[in-house]
Structure 1
Amino acid sequence: MTRLEALVAGQAARTPDAIAVVDEDRRVTYGELDLAANRTANALLAGGLRPDDRVCLLVPKSIEMLVYLLGVLKAGGVCVPLDTASPAARLGTIVTQVRPCVLISDGKRAELAAQLTDAVPAGTITRLLVPDDSGPAVPPKAEAGASGVAYLLFTSGSTGEPKGVQLTHEGIVHYVRWANGHFGITADERISCHLQMHFDGSLWDVYAALLSGAQLHLVPKSASLTPGLLVEFLKDARITQFLSVPSVLSAIARRDVLGEYELPDLRRVLWGGEVFPPEDVSYWLRKVPHAAFLGVYGTTETTIASTYHTVSKPPAEPLPVGVPIPGEWVSIVDEELRVLPAGEVGEVVIGGVGVTPGYWRSPERTARAFVELPPGSGQRAYRTGDLGRIGPDGVLRFQGRADRQVKISGYRVELDDLMAALHSVPEVAAGAVVTAPGRGGGPEICAAYTVTGGAHLTTAELRATLARRLPPYMVPTRWLVLDQLPVNSNGKTDLMAIRRQFAAEEG
């Protein structure tokens, strides 16, 4: 089995003096990155790490984070990147699921690490490691894990508890090798890493660069504060490949930021995770005519992306999702898992190399979401919950969702997960969570609620309560306090009526 850390180490052996990662005013060569990862791996092994043990990484996007990721893999472990912007209570639900585990943190996260340790049952975290550069840098003598799992990434779950998706070395290597070959990525590239490390799209950025000898430029938090600062970073860093989510690209377009900056070095712009409005796509095509534009589609459960679509001219209608990458396949099925003919709308099912082994320690969830198609064939496939249709040309088009899952800034959010958090607040008598179009073009999470009799609960207080339990992207941005929630003819909460109220408020 080809492993990620072995491929990166091979690149380091070939080009030890080439710049591997740039993090604001810091940079590290391939040789330095490899030696530092060896130190982390040896520290983990000295502490008793065994093959396939989980290592949770409470570290922001940085050179250190990349060192630790590679070090965990070199030691035969499984990486569990954590969102350092999430509250300890939310992180605790993840860490408890992967118990027992090692926790790697840094000095700046000491308080959050202490809160997290207090939030989980005793014995969950077997060791807290704050690596330094004093250990041996020799290649570690480690046994590879039999599972082949490289990462455990956690996504929003409809029950209120995040669910862990196992991503394998094989699946990640397959996708990155295809993408690097398809785009012709070479060692002279400067590839941005805009997404956070607990988001599966970042795997493409990281390994696209490190497996080709290119430079990986970590987009600093300060550059993401405004669209203008982000484009200024792309220009100053002479980025050649930029991957982000449509909401970010749309914000740049709607503020005409590219009217102020030229990006002569940009070779390709890529996106995924959300619908990209045609008018915003057209803007980018006009402003950066020398670049290639490509959208990808997939889920964490199918490893980064499974289909792609190249845009060569301004679109007159919503963009298609595209065609499968080699080694992957897509079918449209009905409720009985019967494959539908071309043109009919049904659930999108994805199979192939990238399909995860399943959800971490959740056989029931795995059994519901993963099927054999055709039944009895042995071909595992993932039921995405997305609706789509495949035209006579073989191109897949997205037609919405079959459930209450949405994408916010590329993050998958189960609205029922948020609803569970809302209803856990004692002062909330009833609540409802919907999405409505935002000013930036993408959806915004909206919450309406009523207060229990005699209680006092302001929107600011409720927002603060949820912020202590949820990651920032899940906290509603718009609110309505009602005397009672509207109901439909069946006596259920009328979500459409609530959505209309938010739409009217925006207008």
Structure 2
Amino acid sequence: MLKNVTQYLQYSAERCPDKIAFRDAAQQLTFSQLASQSRALASAIAAAVDGQKCRPVAVYLPKGVDCIIAFFAAAYSGNFYTPLDTAMPQGRLRSIMDTLHPSVVLTDRIHHEAALEVAGDALVMDLEELCVGTVDDGVLDKIRRTVIDTDPLYVMFTSGSTGIPKGVVVSHRSVIDYTEWLAETFAFSERTVFGNQAPFYFDNSILDIYSTVKNAGKMVIIPEEKFLSSKRLCRYLDEVGINTIFWVPSALVLVANSGVLDTVCPKGIEKILFCGEVMPTAQLNVWRRALPNALYANLYGPTEITDVCTYFIVEREFSDVESLPIGFPCRNTDILVLNERDEPAADGEIGELCVRGTCLSHGYYRNPEKTAAAFTQNPLNTMYPEKIYRTGDLVRYNQYGELLYLGRKDYQIKHMGHRIELGEIETAASAYRDVKQSCALYDAQKQRIILFVAAEGIDKTALYQHLKTRLPHYMLPALIVDLEALPLNANGKIDRIELGGAYCG
């Protein structure tokens, strides 16, 4: 029985001990090296916390192979990890640490002093020497016998509406369930080479990391500077043999808009998965024309349900103005579409997407109020306790029985007496030939819709006329702002907060 992700690593280390598992710009690690170094570090962690389990271990390291060692060390020690990138703003870092209260902070010599500044009462441990230290097999075996699959594996912090990050607690069982489904659905294997784009504090990275270890594949951590040039990025993908990518749509859009796929196409790419925001079909079609034999899949899900709860494998043609479905529930996951009366939405009716199943996280770390608000009793089940997660996302079914994402409940606005989905405006704008990216916001103070487009110097009158052919008058923007590029947040998504702060109110 699988009850801990370290079992994946043990199996792959026995089967493929000398195979490269993870690579960054500075080093690479085989499966046997990852297992032995993680177990050595786990022994030190277990000693530091006096054998306690389910304690928070903060990982304060730059993105790289050392983070992977730290993650598995936390799991081997019977504890859970929280990734803290060294590039995080100090304010956010302190807010996370104030909530987390870690027992241990794992770092390296270079970042030791910086870690001490935010560690509080936690013990700061440098991993360089500890990774090659002694493995206490007796202690680790005892831990292995007593852990259970509902123990937390990680706590990932997401943005909170109050400005205070919320820590989502995800168990081994949820990650194992997700990883098994991924392998079955996308045929990941030993020959799969993942090109990792997502930061490790962003849950998209979970697919790359645990699919690599479960399937004895390989994960290449793509250097951030490669994303500054689409041409260099595409060349790099082929140079290092990457054949599978799971990126946020913004990263794929930048490559599509650059035009390099016509001349420097990464021919080795076989699978292109994306998640985290809406993928514009216009830019998806650029990729599909360049790599017509690749598999394309639109994955959907918030952090609270272990990364993904629905998926859509793109097998038919879509015009540049169509919305891409988010598809169907993943295996062992059930989707409820509930209307405002908490009843199943009728055919074609818009409702909130709610989720039940093993994928659900335990809730928010040290935040029972927020947990109770988002993880509620299933209103369709009055017979026994059963939790669902309310995503806050609005969806409906199309004529094919596929789920369509329409936007956030908090992106749904009331303007001129009409309920409006800002995502519909973005879809219409992104279909215009010169628009590379778009974002629609509502300025409540001035009661106007603002449309931001990545298309500096665009003919705004022509764009407005284009929108008039696709949107009713009450959905037309009062202001169009053209920018060279839309700002992105740390996860690579469009930064709506920055745009709102600069132009709304």
Give secondary structure in 2 for the equivalent of 1:350: strand
Deviation at 1:352, TM superposition (A): 1.2
2:362 equivalent in structure 1? 357
Give secondary structure in 2 for the equivalent of 1:211: helix
Of 386-395 and 131-140, more deviation after overlay is shown by 131-140
Deviations 1:156-203 (A, max 9, x none): 001111001011111111111111111111111211111111111101
CA RMSD of aligned residues (A): 3.0
Counterpart residue type for residue 263 of structure 1: P
2:29 equivalent in structure 1? 28
Deviation at 1:40, TM superposition (A): 0.8
Deviations 1:321-356 (A, max 9, x none): 110011011111122321112210011111111011
Contact 2:235 2:266 in 1 (8 A): no
2:117 equivalent in structure 1? 115
Q: What pairs with 1:92-111 in structure 2 (closer than 5 Å)?
A: 92-111=94-113
Of 430-439 and 274-283, more deviation after overlay is shown by 430-439
Give secondary structure in 1 for the equivalent of 2:68: helix
Q: What pairs with 1:481-500 in structure 2 (closer than 5 Å)?
A: none
Answering whether residue 328 of structure 2 is matched by residue 326 of structure 1, we say no
Q: What pairs with 1:206-355 in structure 2 (closer than 5 Å)?
A: 206-316=209-319, 317-355=322-360
In 2, Cα distance between equivalents of 1:78 and 1:433: 45
Deviations 1:99-155 (A, max 9, x none): 1421111123234313324xxxx53x2444444244114543452555511010000
Deviation at 1:253, TM superposition (A): 0.7
Deviations 1:378-432 (A, max 9, x none): 332111111111235331101111115999xxxxxxx99xxxxxxxxxxxxx999
2:469 equivalent in structure 1? none
Give secondary structure in 2 for the equivalent of 1:108: coil
Of 297-306 and 7-16, more deviation after overlay is shown by 7-16
Contact 2:199 2:491 in 1 (8 A): no
Deviation at 1:308, TM superposition (A): 0.6
Q: If the length of structure 2 is used for normalisation, what is the TM-score? A: 0.79
1:391 equivalent in structure 2? 398
1:59 equivalent in structure 2? 61
Aligned length: 433
In 1, Cα distance between equivalents of 2:492 and 2:288: 32
In 1, Cα distance between equivalents of 2:492 and 2:346: 41
2:39 equivalent in structure 1? 38
2:470 equivalent in structure 1? none
Contact 2:310 2:330 in 1 (8 A): yes
Contact 1:77 1:145 in 2 (8 A): no
In 2, Cα distance between equivalents of 1:148 and 1:182: 26
Q: 1:471 to 1:184 in 2, by over 3 A?
A: closer
Higher relative contact order (CA 8 A, sep 6+): 1
Contact 2:64 2:221 in 1 (8 A): yes
Deviation at 1:367, TM superposition (A): 1.1
Q: 1:432 to 1:195 in 2, by over 3 A?
A: farther
Q: 1:33 to 1:437 in 2, by over 3 A?
A: same
Deviations 1:456-498 (A, max 9, x none): xxxxxxxxxxxxxx9997696558879xxxxxxxxxxxx5xx5
Contact 1:278 1:314 in 2 (8 A): no
Of 126-135 and 337-346, more deviation after overlay is shown by 126-135
Answering whether residue 100 of structure 2 is matched by residue 71 of structure 1, we say no
Q: If the length of structure 1 is used for normalisation, what is the TM-score? A: 0.79
Counterpart residue type for residue 53 of structure 1: R
Contact 1:89 1:116 in 2 (8 A): no
Deviations 1:5-61 (A, max 9, x none): 121111111111111112135221111111110111011112125110100001122
1:463 equivalent in structure 2? none
2:196 equivalent in structure 1? 193
Contact 1:253 1:283 in 2 (8 A): yes
Q: 1:297 to 1:476 in 2, by over 3 A?
A: closer
In 1, Cα distance between equivalents of 2:450 and 2:118: 31
Deviations 1:263-288 (A, max 9, x none): 22211101011111111111110001
In 2, Cα distance between equivalents of 1:21 and 1:65: 11
Counterpart residue type for residue 135 of structure 1: G
Answering whether residue 444 of structure 2 is matched by residue 439 of structure 1, we say no
Of 67-76 and 144-153, more deviation after overlay is shown by 144-153
Give secondary structure in 2 for the equivalent of 1:301: helix
Counterpart residue type for residue 67 of structure 1: I
1:83 equivalent in structure 2? 85
In 1, Cα distance between equivalents of 2:298 and 2:29: 31
In 1, Cα distance between equivalents of 2:33 and 2:152: 26
In 2, Cα distance between equivalents of 1:396 and 1:437: 27
Q: Which runs of 5+ in 2 are unaligned?
A: 413-421, 424-440, 457-489
In 2, Cα distance between equivalents of 1:481 and 1:272: 27
Q: What pairs with 1:169-208 in structure 2 (closer than 5 Å)?
A: 169-208=172-211
Contact 1:74 1:142 in 2 (8 A): no
Contact 1:270 1:296 in 2 (8 A): yes
Q: 1:126 to 1:440 in 2, by over 3 A?
A: farther
Contact 1:85 1:472 in 2 (8 A): no
Counterpart residue type for residue 381 of structure 1: I
In 2, Cα distance between equivalents of 1:433 and 1:60: 42
2:167 equivalent in structure 1? 164
Q: What pairs with 1:422-433 in structure 2 (closer than 5 Å)?
A: none
2:459 equivalent in structure 1? none
Deviation at 1:371, TM superposition (A): 1.8
Counterpart residue type for residue 45 of structure 2: L
